[in-house]
Amino acid sequence: MNETLTKEMGVIEEKHPMENILRMDRIPHIWCPTCGIGIAVTSFAIALEKSKIPLDQVCVVSGIGCSGRVAGYVKLDSFHSTHGRAIPFATGLKLGNPKLKTVVFSGDGDIIGIGGNHFIHSARRNMDMLVLCINNFIYAMTGGQLAATTPLTANTSTSPYGNYETPFNLPYLADSCGAVYVARWTVLHVRRLANSITEALNKKGFSFIEIICPCSTIYARRNRLGSGLDLMKFYHDNSIIKHGANTKELDIGFQQKIIVGKFVDRERPTFLESLNDWNRKVFGDKFKEYGGPDDGD
């Protein structure tokens, strides 16, 4: 309503440069003040523009959670799937139409917590997709429960005396399962994040980027860390850029140094390439290569 009012008053003369990628009728979004997911969406939009992939060949799949809302806000083919099942849905999309560039944009609770099994098997098979994992260390939308990425000693609503479970080290998990591109950035590194997403969009295979994101309403409030701006200042002072670092050493402690950068960049045959190669070997000339529903006959 506010926006239509200002439009009627003629205040907005020019359009936001990202209006061709965002569904502006759904903006303002529901994310809290100082939440970083909007910055991640901006970086993704910049990367899409830079990578020059036609917009009708990109599709975004989200799961449930705060970052699951991204699928509703981008003006691309997008789907808001069930909890933890964003990666299987994207796998189906990719196999149904291999020309698509599938992007999974979801949170740590969705991809690693609920859908952890799908994540490791997609990385093992090297499905051609890009996974952007927004890590805010907590299940934020459902009220702040303990997530698989909550650092030790952090307070959540299901660990009111502090967390004693060892969290996942996401880049190490992705690396050991066989992802071809693994990076980690905070939302403060906007330009580096956009460049990293551009690089990953142009790469074949399972690419994984962990985006560390401030959550002021739940995580910072429960742990008395101040506002989202304080968290951003913390990232500014405590993030160390270390490209090619050993992924074993990338654990994140509670309010400790965060190592960011691009850790893994390698080549492996993707799922469809191995499928075609193997079947050609077994069946010889009888086999017709699979490249989508509308090729061949």
What residue ranges bind other proteins (CB under 8 A)? Answer: 2-3, 5-6, 11-12, 14, 16-18, 22, 27-29, 31-39, 42-43, 46, 188, 190-191, 194, 228-229, 232-233
158 vs 238, beta carbon nearer other proteins? 238
Give the C-alpha separation, 209 to 182, whole Å: 6
Q: Which residues pair with 262 in a beta bridge?
A: 183
Q: How far is the CB of 258 from other proteins (least distance, A)?
A: 18
Q: How far is the CB of 225 from other proteins (least distance, A)?
A: 15
Q: How far is the CB of 24 from other proteins (least distance, A)?
A: 8
Q: Which of 93, 99, 95 is nearest to 71 (CA)?
A: 93
Q: How far is the CB of 233 from other proteins (least distance, A)?
A: 8
Token pair for 10: 């003629």
| Backbone phi and psi for residue 16, each to the nearest 5 degrees, phi listed first | -65, 135
7 vs 288, beta carbon nearer other proteins? 7
Q: How far is the CB of 56 from other proteins (least distance, A)?
A: 22
Place of tokens 């439009």: 7
Q: At what angle do helices 86-96 and 116-125 cross, to 10 degrees?
A: 30
28 vs 284, beta carbon nearer other proteins? 28
37 vs 154, beta carbon nearer other proteins? 37
How far is residue 175 from each of residues 13, 194, 209, 272, measured CA to CA in Å?
47, 21, 11, 20
Pairing of strands 206-212, 101-107: unpaired
Q: How far is the CB of 227 from other proteins (least distance, A)?
A: 8
191 vs 243, beta carbon nearer other proteins? 191
Q: How far is the CB of 188 from other proteins (least distance, A)?
A: 8
Contacts of 292 (CB under 8 A, 6+ apart): 97, 98, 99
32 vs 93, beta carbon nearer other proteins? 32
Give the C-alpha separation, 225 to 233, whole Å: 11
Under 8 Å between Cβ of 95 and 125: no
39 vs 58, beta carbon nearer other proteins? 39
1 vs 282, beta carbon nearer other proteins? 1
Burial 21-50 (b: 16+ CB within 10 A, else e): bbeeeeeebebeebbbbbbbbbbbbbbbbe
Q: How far is the CB of 41 from other proteins (least distance, A)?
A: 8
Give the C-alpha separation, 69 to 64, whole Å: 8
